[in-house]
Amino acid sequence: MQNKLGAYIIFGLTALVVLGLISLTMGVYKFENDSFFGMVKDGFLGSENSDPGDWYVFSEIRLPRVVMAMLIGSALAVSGAAMQGMFKNPLATPSLIGVTSGASLFAAIAIVLGSFIRQILPEFLHSLLISLMAFFGAILTMVFVYRMSTVQRKTNVVIMLLAGVAISAMAGAITGFLIYLTDDEELRNLTFWTLGSLAGASWQKNLILALVIGVSYIFLINKGKALNAMMLGEQDAAHLGIPVEKVKKQIVIFTALMVGSCVAFAGTIGFVGLIVPYILRLIFKSNYHIILPLSAVAGSILLLCADTFSRTVVAPSEMPIGVITAFLGAPVFIAILIRFKKAL
């Protein structure tokens, strides 16, 4: 099994590298150098033949964006797989416990009330206000939902689900009220935020994402065997020596950290955490020992392809990436419902 998993991961990483190289060559801007790889070599070596404009587009715009697509796609897919394993439900996603809604609400607050909030913040935080507010909203929502669902140090998954639904409804209502208060420019910014975009990618953001995702993966990627045992029931898993409460706590915390970071830097990008685990489950059944690590690679591939498509299909404009993932996710959602209907 380990040899097969390693082979799958190597194949996926190879495909990811190839797709990444292809994505770097695509876009509205056309490099002056006839050879893309020659331009990259000249830029790295500091050659006199290097065009500063070409190198800037490559190193500061396209490459950070490709890296961000890989990081966010990977994080959202692993978060979705972990949530589905914990809830034992193929429709479960990070938005189910209200994390995405909480992050989006605080981002909306920053967009609409940013002029007032910036007056009490140091100047160096002004450009990061929306990202910081979105991340704070995700963490605050996670803490509230976890506290609501924890009774005598045991986490009730049903209460967690209901608390998430309540938070999402409340966040949606408040966001709707903020939309009512906005002017045209704020409404446009808020709309684009809720549709998601990787246009703001930078190396600083990628470094933060990589740190958050790297730490989260240390705790989540190896939870496959625990989730497989929990599929039998929490009591049976406990009898097999699985620390059920500890596993659930880690999944909630690190899922919230990853999703909060993703929403903070790219807005709301839905359905990635639904599509990838569903496709992998069709191939590998419900073996989370395989699904979790492969989700990390497959999620990167999916979002990279979606982002490349979004910035080339209507060039020179850019289609919001959330629209692309919604187009992909809706048929998958319907397919899951059809399978459930046939199983009744």
CATH number for the segment(s) 2-343:
1.10.3470.10
Whether the CA torsion 251, 322, 313, 34 is positive or negative: it is: negative
Q: Is the pTM above the cut of 0.85?
A: yes
Give 151's DSSP letter.
E
* C-alpha dist (Å) from residue 158 to 41, 204, 277: 55, 38, 21
At residue 155, φ and ψ (nearest 5 deg) are -95, 120
Structure tokens at 210: 């990589």
Kind and range of the H or E run holding 154:
strand 154-155
Q: Which residues contact 127 (CB under 8 A, 6 or more apart)?
A: none
Q: Do the Cβ atoms of 343 and 309 come closer than 8 Å? A: no
pLDDT tens-place values along the chain, 344 residues long: 667 888 899 999 999 999 999 999 888 877 766 566 776 766 666 666 666 777 888 889 999 999 999 999 999 999 999 988 888 878 778 777 788 888 888 888 888 888 788 888 777 777 778 888 888 888 888 888 888 888 777 777 788 888 888 888 998 899 888 888 888 887 877 877 788 889 889 999 999 999 999 999 999 999 999 999 998 888 888 888 899 889 988 998 899 889 988 988 998 898 899 889 988 988 888 899 999 999 999 999 999 999 999 988 877 788 889 889 888 888 887 887 787 777 66
In degrees, rounded to 5, the angle at the alpha carbon of residue 294 between the alpha carbons of residues 275 and 14 is 110
Partners of 154 in beta bridges? 151
The total number of residues shown for the chain amounts to: 344
Bond preceding residue 316 cis, omega within 30 of 0: yes
Please name the residue ranges forming H helices in the chain: 2-25, 36-45, 52-56, 63-87, 99-117, 129-149, 157-181, 184-195, 203-220, 224-230, 234-239, 244-266, 272-284, 288-310, 321-343
CA gap 318, 218 in Å, rounded: 35
At residue 35, φ and ψ (nearest 5 deg) are -105, 120
